[in-house]
Amino acid sequence: MPRHPAPDLPAGAAVWNPDAAAAWSLLFTPIFGSCLQYLNWKNLGEDEHAGLARIWFIFSIVLYSVITVLQVATLRRDGGIPAWFYPFYTVLWYVLSGRRQGSYLRARFGGGYERRPLGRPLLLAVGGYVLLVIVLVAVTLFRAFAL
C-alpha cells in the first residue's frame, strides 16, 4: 500500500524534537521540556495543545521555585522534599503531557518534519543552572555570615 506524503509544516514552523526535549527534561526538569513543547505547539498552530503545555510550564516554574525557596529558607539541601519527588514529577509530566507531541508529529508527519537545533535551548538551560547555583551560593554565604 503506497504511503501518502506527510503534510508540510506551516511556513517557518520548524520544531524542536519533542522526544529529545523530554529526554533532556530528566536533567533540566520539565520546565525545559514543557517550554520547548509549548513553543512547538505554537509554531504548529495548535493553540489548545499550546495552552496545556503553557500550564505545565508555568506550574513547573512555580513548583521548582517554591522548592528552591524552601531549600534556602530551611538551609536543608532537600528543602524537606523527598528525593523520589523529582523523578516522579518528571515521569508524571511525561505521561500526562510530554509524550503527546512526539506521537502527534509521528502520526501527522511521519517523522519527516523540519527540526530546530537544540544547541541554543541547551546553552540557555546550562546558563540558567549556573546562574541558579551562583544565586544559591551567594544567599547561603550571606545567611551564614549574617548569623
Q: pLDDT band for 118, please (50, 70, 90 cuts).
A: very high
User: What pLDDT does residue 39 have?
Assistant: 96
User: What pLDDT does residue 49 have?
Assistant: 96
Q: pLDDT tens digit string along 43-74?
A: 999 999 999 999 999 999 999 988 888 877 77
Query: CA distances (Å), 21 to each of 3, 57, 143, in order?
Result: 28, 13, 36
User: What pLDDT does residue 145 have?
Assistant: 81
pLDDT above 70 (res 89): yes
pLDDT above 70 (res 76): no
Query: CA distances (Å), 67 to each of 50, 96, 111, in order?
Result: 26, 22, 37
Kindly write down the DSSP assignment for every residue of 39-83, as one continuous string. Answer: HHHHHHT-HHHHHHHHHHHHHHHHHHHHHHHHHHHHT-TTTT--T
Q: pLDDT band for 31, please (50, 70, 90 cuts).
A: very high
Mean pLDDT (the chain) is 86
Higher-scoring residue by pLDDT: 147, 86: 86
